[in-house]
Amino acid sequence: MKVMKFGGVIFFMTLMFFWSCNSAPEVISENKNEKEVVENSDVYLLPQGFWIGALRINEVDRIPFNLEVIGDSVYFINADERIGASITKSDEQYVIEMPIFDSEFRFSLTDQGLYGFWHNYAKSDDYKIDFTAKQIDEVNVFNRFNVAVSDKFSNFEGNWETTFAVGTEDEYKALGLLVQVGQEVTGTFLTETGDYRFLQGNATGDSLYISAFDGSHAFMLKANLENDTLIGTFFSGNHYQNNWKAFRNDNFELTDPDSLTKLKIGEELSFSFPGLDNKMVEYPSPKYTEKVVIIQILGSWCPNCMDETKFLSDLHKTYKNKGLEIIGISFENPASLEGKIERVKELKEFFNAEYDFCIGGDASKKTAELVLPALDKIMSFPTTLYIDKDGVIRKIHTGFNGPGTGPYFLKYAEQTNKFVQALLNE
């Protein structure tokens, strides 16, 4: 297990070098002093240290994820990502409210561990999944799926041409990017509409198990290596699963994300939506005249949108004094306008984003297409438009390759910075 940990640190340090240069997120945390020494753990609500949490999605399957409790904060760990939240207690019930996303844990503490539910209010008021957690020793942190420690396991590292929802009308392609050190496997899957963010898991024999929990999505992928092909099942929460298969292919590429959504011939982009201060945000308008403008179509419930908001917030701070403006048009789950505004305010405040946000409507791609009729289609949240100083849409980008994609995020960040600089210099 020490070998596994050492490999994880190498990968982490590689990404840290990139993140320090491009202002990408290392930690999503509400507590900036997470590494303070806890001298007297008796004063805190939960026992200190590492835990393994699990969401029971059916009678057989559990989606595991790593936790670390430090003081009255808890950190949800997926590979190199740490998502911080506060622990509170009301009567005999403990509560962890997830940052950004409209979800929370409510549970009890017993001698055997934590027992309760994860509530995802972004889906519905009654959407919940059974939740348990137990403490583990630090040496077991990288053994998320509690596999038998062995030197007999397949090598899953590499680039995998992947097909999800095999044989159905919803079938779609993805690029799997897996890194393996011993029995620890990390990585993600890129699709044409975004990525699966930070996945972490284990190899044992010819079997692969990887999962992620970020407060919005709970993913698990299981597969067996049969000859040269991975064949498995993908789970998303307790409401969705499909079959998937993959084989190694270093030459596989997805469709260019800049080619999927286009401006309709003869159409011009214009809109007027309520802003977070109840004043209308309009485009075009004098504020954006002779400026480079990025239009971000997003939802605060969307993890890829969260990653993009962090990236765009940093991009805006770098170039705002040179003439860059950004408008985020958000499509939200709450029924009322006030509820929608509150969700977006939390996202804006969390990342200290200084650009404009407004409310486009309900959380639906069909709604987005209806209120933005100049676009031929909207395949994904996020979808991002880059507009030059003359008001010409120069590029429409579908999805977002976040920091979990490693070199793909590196490439995207570099290309986007260069593209924005070129637009500003025109």
Q: What pLDDT sits at residue 42?
A: 72
Asked if residues 389 and 423 have their Cβ atoms less than 8 Å apart, the reply is yes
Percent share of the chain, pLDDT over 90: 88
**Residues contacting 6, CB < 8 A, separation 6+:** 181
Q: From the CB of residue 245, how many other CB atoms can be counted at a distance below 10 Å?
A: 17
Strands 271-274 and 240-248: unpaired
The share of the chain scoring above pLDDT 70, in percent, equals: 90
CA–CA distance, 252 with 231 (Å, rounded to integer):
18
- Tens digits of per-residue pLDDT, 167-189? 999 999 999 999 999 999 999 99
> For position 252, what pLDDT does the model report?
97
What one-character-per-residue DSSP string does 64-110 give?
Answer: EEEEEEETTEEEEEETTEEEEEEEEEETTEEEEEPSSSSEEEEEEEE
Question: What does the pLDDT read at residue 278?
Answer: 83
pLDDT at 24: 36
Of residues 77 and 2, more confidently modeled? 77
Report the alpha-carbon distance of residue 308 to residue 384 in Å, rounded. Answer: 10
What count of other Cβ atoms lies within 10 Å of the Cβ of residue 36? 11
Q: Cα-flanking dihedrals φ and ψ of residue 6, to 5°?
A: -60, -40
Question: Residue 372's closest CA among 264, 274, 279?
Answer: 264
What's the pLDDT score for residue 192? 95
Confidence of residue 14 (pLDDT cuts 50, 70, 90): very low
pLDDT average, residue stretch 387-411: 96
Cα dihedral sign for 153, 82, 69, 222? negative
Tell me whether the omega of the peptide bond preceding residue 403 falls within 30 degrees of 0, making it cis: no
pLDDT at 299 over 70: yes
Q: How many residues are given for the chain? A: 426
Give the per-residue pLDDT at 19.
39
**pLDDT confidence band for 12 (50 / 70 / 90):** very low
The answer to whether residue 282 scores a pLDDT higher than 50 is yes
Residue 121: enclosing H or E segment and its boundaries? none
Q: Using 50, 70 and 90 to split pLDDT, how confident is the model at 310?
A: very high
Q: What is the mean pLDDT of the chain?
A: 91
Per-residue pLDDT of 378-391, as tens digits, reads 999 999 999 999 99
pLDDT at 274 (0 to 100): 98
Distance CA 304, CA 9 (A): 24
More confidently predicted of 310 and 4: 310
Q: What is the mean pLDDT of residues 129-154?
A: 96
Q: How far apart are CA 198 and CA 196, in angstroms?
A: 7
**pLDDT attached to residue 15:** 40
What are the structural domains, with CATH classification, of the chain?
24-140 (2.40.128), 158-248 (2.40.128.120), 271-425 (3.40.30.10)
Q: Tell whether the model's pLDDT for residue 422 goes beyond 50.
A: yes
Which range has the worst mean pLDDT, 25-29, 205-209, 227-231, 335-339?
25-29
Find the range with the poorest average confidence among 19-23, 265-269, 369-373, 412-416. Answer: 19-23
Peptide bond into 284 cis (omega under 30): yes
Burial state string for 149-165 with b = 16 or more CB within 10 A and e = fewer than 16: eeeebeebbbbbbbebe
316: helix, coil or strand? helix
pLDDT digits (tens, 9 = 90+) for 24-67: 334 454 444 444 444 555 789 999 999 999 999 999 999 999 99
Under a CB-based contact definition with an 8 Å cutoff, are residues 131 and 116 in contact?
Answer: yes
| Helix (H/G/I), strand (E/B), else coil: 242 | strand
**Average pLDDT, stretch 284-309?**
97
Q: Helix (H, G, I), strand (E, B), or coil: what is residue 412?
A: helix
Q: State residue 20's pLDDT score.
A: 37
